[in-house]
Structure 1
C-alpha cells in the first residue's frame, strides 16, 4: 500500500483503503460492486488504484457523456457492464417557471437539507429554465416524497426517462496554459487574469472550494482531475499535466467555466 500512497495526498489514504476493500470484495465474491456518486478526483484515484489489474476492471457513468459526478462499477473481467447496472434515475424539478427562478445552489442545499448525503445524487443540470438531477435508485421514493419546496418555492419532483434529459448550458472550455507552479493561487491568478495577492485573498477568505469542500491554503498544489470552484469567477479543472517548458514552467490542459 505504501507504493500506492506515495502518489496521493495523506488525506486521500482512507479513500484509497476503501477502494482496496471494494477490489478485494469483487475478487472474493466474483461479483460487481457499485459505488455512490464520486467526484472526478475520486474517479481518478480509482483508475490509478485498479490500474492494469487484469482480473478486476472499472467503468464510470453519471447519466450522460459529460457528467462530472459518476458512479463507478468495479467488476470481474468476465462481467459485461450495461447502463442499467449503474442504477441511476433522472429527476426533474417542476416549478412555476413564469413566476420564479431556481439556482444550482438552492437545489443542492435543498437536497442536502432533506437528509440526503451528497454521494447519493449526481450532477444538477439546467438549460437555463428547466432543472434536473440524477439520483441512485435506492433513494428514489425518499427524494420524491421529501422534497416539496426549494427555498420558498413549491416544487414537484418527477421521474423522467433518459430520453428526456435536457441539454445543460454549462459548457467547459478546454484551455492550455503555462504556469510557474500548480499552486491554487497561481492557477486562479493565471486563468482569471488577477493578481496573486487577489487570488490568495479569495482562498483565505473562504471563497474557493477544492472538490466541493472549502479550502483555505493558497499554496496547496493541485493534482489531476481536481476541481476548483471560485465564487464570482467560475470553476477550473486540472485535466492534464503536459510536462515542463524550457523555462521550467508547467504546461497544463485545464477545463474552465467562466461566470
Structure 2
C-alpha cells in the first residue's frame, strides 16, 4: 500500500476527519483502473488515484455520498463508449468503499461537578471526550480515564483547535467571566452543538457583553443557553443528564416529546 495512503489515513483517524478508502476490486475491458489501486476520499479532498478520468470522478462522488451516511459498500462503474468515458477507454470496474467512522467529539470546558458528570456520560455513550480547564490540578493524570485532558492558560483564545469533526461543546467553567471568555472565543466555531450553563441573570449579562462587542444576533441564535432539557434538574448528575439528552436530540435529529405521544398506541 502506498505510504501516502497509510499516512493520510492515520492523520484522518487521529484528527477525527471522516475518511473513506476506495479500492479497485476488479477491472475488465480497456479501463485504466488496475486491481488493488487505492485512494482516500475526505470532504473536498482526495489522496491517491484509482485510474483518473470519469472513473475517478464517479468514485469520488460515490464515496462522498457514503461518507455522509457513514456506510461502506461496493460500487460499480461501467463505461461502454466515448460518450460515457470521455475517452476511447471502456470497461467495467468494481470498487469497494470502506468508510472509517469517527466517534463524535464531546468537548467539555470546565472540569467541575457538572463537567465530571458529563464526562462519565460521554464515555459511556461512545463519545471521544475532551476536558479543558485553566486549573492544571483539575486535569491531572488519572482524573478522567479514557478522555483527553488539556490545561490552558485561559479560555479567551486558541479554543478552536479543539473543534474537530462532529463536535459537541459544553461550556461549564469555574466562573461567569471564564464562561463568557470561552463563549466569545467559540461563538463562530463550526460545532454541531454549542451550549453554556448558567442562570437567566448570568446569561443576560453575557449576551449584553456580546452585543457590546458587536457580535450579531444570528451568531448567537444557534446557541443552547442555558443548555439542557427542562427536567427540573438541580443535582450535577441530573443537570448533566439533561444536557446529554439535549446533545443526543441534536445529534440524532430527535424531537423533545414523550415516546407515548410519538407512537400514540391506542388501548
TM range (shorter): under 0.3
User: Which structure has the highest strand share of the two?
Assistant: 1
After TM superposition, the score normalised by the length of structure 2 is 0.22
User: Which structure has the highest helix share of the two?
Assistant: 2
